[in-house]
C-alpha cells in the first residue's frame, strides 16, 4: 500500500473528507483539507500560526474573515469548467467562516504564516491562465496564488490535463535548496477525474530510487510529494484535474528536470 496516497473518507460533521497535516505527512510546511458542504452548511476556523488559501473547487460560498464579510465568490459547477474558482487568502491569526450557497467542494490549503496581514478574495482576473507543453504534453494551468501575489509561504495552482496527456512532465523535482536553480518545496496533489470512474497514474521517485512509488490515482485522492520527481499521466478518455499546494523555507518555485528525460523539451 502506498505511503503517499491519501483516500477520501465519509464526510464528518464539517463535511471534511480529506486531511493532510504536517504531522500526518511527516514534513514541516504543507497542510491540505477537503470539505464537501451541503447548501447552507458552514465551516469555521482559526489558525494562529498558519496562513490559508481557501479554494472553491466547485460551487459558491460566502466567506468572512474576522469581522469582515468578504462576500460571495465562486460559482463554477465543477473543476472541469473553464472558469476560475472562488478563492480567498486568510492570514494567520484571522478567524474565518465559509457558508455554502449550494453544494460546495472546498479546499483548505495551509502553510506557516505570520499574523497581521489582510484577508482578501482573490479576483478571477488575477488568476493567470496559461497553456503549457505541446502535443500529448499539453495541459491547462491556472495560477491561484503564485509568487507574484502576497503570501508568506503558500503557492497554489490548479491544472487540467486532457485524457491521454502527461503533466508535471518531463519529470521535475524541487526538493533541494540550490539558489536560483532549485528550491525546496513540499507538495500535495488533489486529484479529480472526469468522468469520475476514471484513473490516472502518478510516479514519485528520487535519483537513487530510495523513494520510487507508482500510484494508481482515483477520483478524490491526494498524493503527497515529500521529495523527488513526480510526473502524472491521465488515461485516455478521462480528463484529470489536480490542485497543487506547495510550501517550503523559501516562497519560490524553481525546479530541476530529470536529466534522463529533459531531451523531450529541448529544441
Rg (CA), the chain: 18
Residue 197 has a pLDDT of: 98
Domain presence at residue 247: yes
Domain presence at residue 2: no
Please give the tally of structural domains in the chain: 1
Q: Note the Cα 200 to chain centre separation in Å.
A: 17
CATH number at residue 179: 2.60.120.10
Write out pLDDT tens, residues 183-228.
999 999 999 999 999 999 999 999 999 999 999 999 999 999 999 9
Domain presence at residue 185: yes
The average confidence (pLDDT) of the chain is 97
Write out pLDDT tens, residues 99-143.
999 999 999 999 999 998 899 999 999 999 999 999 999 999 999
pLDDT above 80 for 1: no
**In the numeric block, which cell numbers belong to residue 242?**
489536480
- The answer to whether the beta carbons of residues 54 and 96 sit under 8 Å apart is yes
- The answer to whether the beta carbons of residues 78 and 58 sit under 8 Å apart is yes
Domain presence at residue 1: no
CA separation for the pair 217, 229 (Å, rounded)? 16
Structural domain boundaries enclosing 161: 11-117+127-265
Residue 83 has a pLDDT of: 97
Domain presence at residue 97: yes
Question: Mean per-residue pLDDT for 57-72?
Answer: 97
Burial class (CB in 10 A: 0-12, 13-18, 19+), 221: buried
Write out pLDDT tens, residues 71-81.
999 999 999 99
CA separation for the pair 238, 249 (Å, rounded)? 36
pTM above 0.95, yes or no: yes
Amino acid at each position: 500500500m502506498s505511503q503517499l496516497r491519501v483516500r477520501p473518507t465519509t464526510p464528518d460533521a464539517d463535511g471534511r473528507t480529506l486531511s493532510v497535516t504536517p504531522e500526518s505527512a511527516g514534513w514541516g510546511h504543507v497542510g491540505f483539507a477537503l470539505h464537501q458542504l451541503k447548501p447552507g452548511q458552514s465551516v469555521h476556523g482559526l489558525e494562529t500560526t498558519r496562513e490559508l488559501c481557501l479554494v472553491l473547487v466547485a460551487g459558491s460560498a460566502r466567506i468572512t474573515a474576522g469581522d469582515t464579510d468578504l462576500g460571495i465568490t465562486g460559482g463554477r459547477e465543477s473543476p472541469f469548467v473553464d472558469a476560475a474558482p472562488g478563492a480567498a487568502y486568510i492570514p494567520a491569526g484571522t478567524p474565518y467562516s465559509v457558508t455554502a450557497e449550494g453544494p460546495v467542494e472546498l479546499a483548505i490549503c495551509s502553510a506557516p504564516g505570520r499574523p497581521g496581514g489582510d484577508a482578501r478574495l482573490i479576483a478571477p482576473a488575477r488568476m493567470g491562465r496559461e497553456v503549457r507543453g505541446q502535443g500529448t504534453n499539453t495541459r491547462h494551468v491556472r495560477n491561484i496564488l503564485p509568487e507574484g501575489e502576497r503570501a508568506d509561504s503558500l503557492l497554489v495552482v490548479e491544472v487540467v490535463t486532457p485524457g491521454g496527456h502527461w503533466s508535471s512532465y518531463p519529470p521535475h523535482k524541487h526538493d533541494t535548496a540550490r539558489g536560483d536553480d532549485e528550491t525546496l518545496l513540499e507538495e500535495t496533489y488533489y486529484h479529480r477525474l472526469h468522468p469520475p470512474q476514471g484513473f490516472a497514474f502518478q510516479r514519485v521517485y528520487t535519483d537513487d530510487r530510495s523513494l520510487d512509488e507508482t500510484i494508481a490515482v482515483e477520483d478524490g485522492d491526494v498524493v503527497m510529494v515529500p521529495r523527488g520527481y513526480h510526473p502524472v499521466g491521465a488515461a485516455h478518455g478521462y480528463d484529470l484535474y489536480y490542485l497543487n499546494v506547495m510550501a517550503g523555507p523559501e516562497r519560490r518555485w524553481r525546479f530541476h528536470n530529470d536529466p534522463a528525460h529533459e531531451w523531450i523539451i529541448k529544441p
